[in-house]
Structure 1
Amino acid sequence: MTLLRDEGLTAEELAVWRMLQRAQVRITRRLEAELLVAHDLPLASYEVLMQLAEAPGRRLRMNDLADRVLLSRSGLTRLIDRLQRDGLVTREACADDARGLYAVLTDGGAARLADATPTYLRGIRTQFLDMLGSGEIAQIRAMLARLDAPAPGGSSAPGGAAP
């Protein structure tokens, strides 16, 4: 195909790229479906709660949280609105920045996260890890580490923020 040659891609290279995209979407869709059925918790919400639980004081600045969960600032704001309505997070003003806000995990959010975590971990096991042979996890980790490295020019994510 002329388009592939014009852009310097082989059919195999394009096929690998598409396989990576399909695998990621398939795995995350199944994982989200399991979380929704068992806990009425979308995957993005689980990821936000998990990031907050792992943060010092169970709180993160909204900008930092958006970078960690790979959401736009506006997308995170809408998600935090829903989580706040459900009593899973609260917002707190930053003492050192009048415009800044923290997202804070509530006790209810921590309990919901604890309930959902076995489902999440089981999903990772069955949808991903069980498909790999011994030694392949280390290989995949090495390959993904190269892909996750900062791009030439210094940034590893849109907007220059590291995930």
Structure 2
Amino acid sequence: MSDVAERGLLRQWHDLLSLHATVSGALESRLQERHGIGVTEFEALEQLVTAGRQCRGTELTEVVHLSQSATSRLVARMEREGLVERSMCEDDRRGVFVNVTEEGRRRYQEAKPTHREVLAELLS
């Protein structure tokens, strides 16, 4: 790879990191301020609501881009806040399902316009 190509590649990478930080920060700030949830909680709720079914904890890990243990702590926190409920998988006792509650569904619906507003502002 030439020096010019390498510099261009690194510039694109740094631009991507900067955009991610800007959008994530704005989402975190506005979702917390207006709805009392963070961007990670919103992403988890969106997965649960739009999937139309319960999700395995491992599925949420892929969506929220956290480690398995961090996702477990996220789900525990959301459960304490009444946004989700956990249940055991009948076929595999090691498996845990996460279900959105009515409160979680309500909070997601209220926060969705804020989420989309930030995306439209910063990505359009």
In 1, Cα distance between the equivalents of 2:2 and 2:123? 35
Give the match for residue 114 of structure 2: 119
In 2, Cα distance between the equivalents of 1:96 and 1:8? 56
In 2, Cα distance between the equivalents of 1:45 and 1:36? 10
Give the match for residue 73 of structure 2: 78
Moved more, 100-109 or 67-76: 67-76
Residues 1:18 and 2:14 are matched in the alignment? yes
SS in 2 for 1:34: helix
Give the match for residue 33 of structure 1: 29
Question: How many residues were matched structurally?
Answer: 124
Structure 1 residues 37-95: Cα deviation after superposition (integer angstroms, max 9, x where no partner): 111110000000000001233x1000111112222110110000110000000001001
**With structure 1 as the length reference, what TM-score do the two structures score?**
0.71
Structure 1 residues 134-153: Cα deviation after superposition (integer angstroms, max 9, x where no partner): xxxxxxxxxxxxxxxxxxxx
> What residue ranges of structure 2 are gaps of 5+ in the alignment?
none
Aligned residue runs from structure 1 range 85-104, under 5 A: 85-104=80-99
Residues 1:107 and 2:102 are matched in the alignment? yes
Going from structure 1 to structure 2, the CA distance change for 1:14 and 1:95 (only over 3 Å counts) comes to: same
> What residue ranges of structure 1 are gaps of 5+ in the alignment?
130-163
Q: CA RMSD in A?
A: 1.8
What stretches of structure 1 move > 4 A for 4+ residues in a row?
5-9
- Identity within the alignment, %: 30
Tell me: higher relative CO, structure 1 or 2? Use CA pairs within 8 A at least 6 residues apart.
2
> Which one has the bigger helix percentage?
2
